[in-house]
Amino acid sequence: MNKYFNVSVASLLVVALGSIGTAQSQQRNLSAETAGPTGVPGQVMMHMADVLGEKKVADLQVAQGQTLTNSVRNVAEGKTDIASAPIILTFLLDRGVGPYAKLGKKKGAELAANLRALYPYNAGGFFGLFYTNKGYKSWADMKGKSIWNGPPRGAALNNGRATLQMAAGLKDGKDYKGVQQNWGQLMTTLVDGSVDAFVLPVTWPHPYVTTMSAAGKVSVLSMPKAKFEGKLAKKLFGVPGNIPIVVDGKDVGYKGSLTVISEDGKLRALGTAFGDVVHKKMSFKLAKAITAAHISTLGMLKKRAAFMNSVGLAEMDAVKSGFCGKSKLKYHAGAVAAWKEAGFNLPACAQ
């Protein structure tokens, strides 16, 4: 049964309790999917579960640790109400390529057209990390080394490899030994000495860096400014969901235990844009209420974890948020209304 249409009296009762398309009760049960609980997407979603319940907007039933490739499709198909979504996945679904290749372009585009965003954020930038006693001074020193650069497949691995190529022209398997593991294995690998360096998506401060700092002094490599503004960078930043991340080195924390390697003290990186997405058939009223709850509790969300101050919350600029360009993902009309009422300007191309 398609959850957005009433086909019987019995189904009407179900829809009234749990569907996103019906306003029969003030507080609805909504299903949600997100990644691990400690990362940015998980923090955002669990925060929303708390505040939506408190504000009696909805009871959000959250499934954590999900594969977001599947979560995005589930929302597009009407099987899940809200999901954490890397912007790149909505683009790949629209094209029917990558993890959605079996769907084909026509079906993929039809599904992608069902997606609408509520609010933006990002999962941090891809930086180079290593123990300071290794003595590396630049990305070029990564040549010939073993480098943890992502899980066995997916957007993170692509961006990890792209970072090394953009920074120093290094290719996995040719210029260095890429090490891939599932995210669950990473925390052990960070401290066991089995690899020489890491290329990881990091916000500041971050549990990855904190874990490493407990075992010794750590150095972080910024993308060189010239490379960050070069031809390859422009090409990479033209991919939907890839965004430029710039952080002032003095704001990263870890005084005395972290060395910032940058020509001007700025940490630059290739970042990954996210947004929480819903089906286009979610009612205007509900989408607006969820988004308004998000906006009104941004201060609480930033206090949920120290690194939440640097993840692009309420960043509406098209380039910095990963919207527009080749991406067709737009905000839900209800979300647009909520942001505008709160005094924010949204890019016309994302409305």
Same-domain status, 86 and 194: no
Residue 292 lies in a domain: yes
User: Which of 221, 249, 272 is the last residue before a domain boundary?
Assistant: 272
Phi, psi (deg, nearest 5) at residue 126: -90, 110
Q: Distance (Å, rounded) from C-alpha 32 to C-alpha 40?
A: 15
- pLDDT attached to residue 26: 56
Residue 1 lies in a domain: no
Q: Distance (Å, rounded) from C-alpha 162 to C-alpha 171?
A: 9
Residue 2 lies in a domain: no
Which portions of the chain are predicted below pLDDT 70? 1-26
Same-domain status, 134 and 227: yes
User: Which of 210, 238, 272 is the last residue before a domain boundary?
Assistant: 272
- pLDDT attached to residue 16: 39
Phi, psi (deg, nearest 5) at residue 18: -130, -5
- pLDDT attached to residue 255: 79
- pLDDT attached to residue 18: 44
Please list, in sequence order, all residues whose beta carbon lies within 8 angstroms of the beta carbon of residue 211, skipping any fewer than 6 positions away: 187, 190, 191
- pLDDT attached to residue 204: 87
Same-domain status, 267 and 278: no
Same-domain status, 105 and 140: no
Residue 183 lies in a domain: yes
Same-domain status, 206 and 245: yes
Contact 337, 344 (CB under 8 A): no
Q: Which residues pair with 277 in a beta bridge?
A: 83, 117
Q: Distance (Å, rounded) from C-alpha 266 to C-alpha 246?
A: 7
Residue 259 lies in a domain: yes
Residue 55 lies in a domain: yes
Residue 241 lies in a domain: yes
User: Which of 272, 289, 310 is the last residue before a domain boundary?
Assistant: 272
Same-domain status, 111 and 169: no
User: The domain containing residue 165 runs over which residues?
Assistant: 125-272
The one-letter amino acid code at 133 reads N
- For 128-179, the DSSP string reads EEEEGGG---SGGGGTTSEEEEESSSSHHHHHHHHHHHHHH---BTTTBEEE
- pLDDT attached to residue 13: 33
Write out pLDDT tens, residues 12-28: 333 333 444 444 345 78
Q: Kindly report the CATH number assigned to the domain that includes residue 316.
A: 3.40.190.10
Residue found by looking up tokens 């299903």 in the block: 31
Q: Distance (Å, rounded) from C-alpha 96 to C-alpha 107?
A: 7
Write out pLDDT tens, residues 25-49: 457 899 999 987 878 999 999 999 9
Residue found by looking up tokens 């407990």 in the block: 214
Supply 331's token pair.
Answer: 């905000």
Same-domain status, 282 and 328: yes
Same-domain status, 169 and 47: no
Same-domain status, 116 and 55: yes
Q: Number of structural domains, the chain?
A: 2
Same-domain status, 138 and 263: yes
Same-domain status, 138 and 111: no
Same-domain status, 64 and 160: no
Alpha helices in the chain (DSSP H): 9-18, 40-54, 68-76, 87-95, 104-112, 155-168, 183-192, 207-213, 225-228, 231-237, 284-296, 298-304, 318-321, 333-341
Residue 130 lies in a domain: yes
Q: Distance (Å, rounded) from C-alpha 276 to C-alpha 274?
A: 7
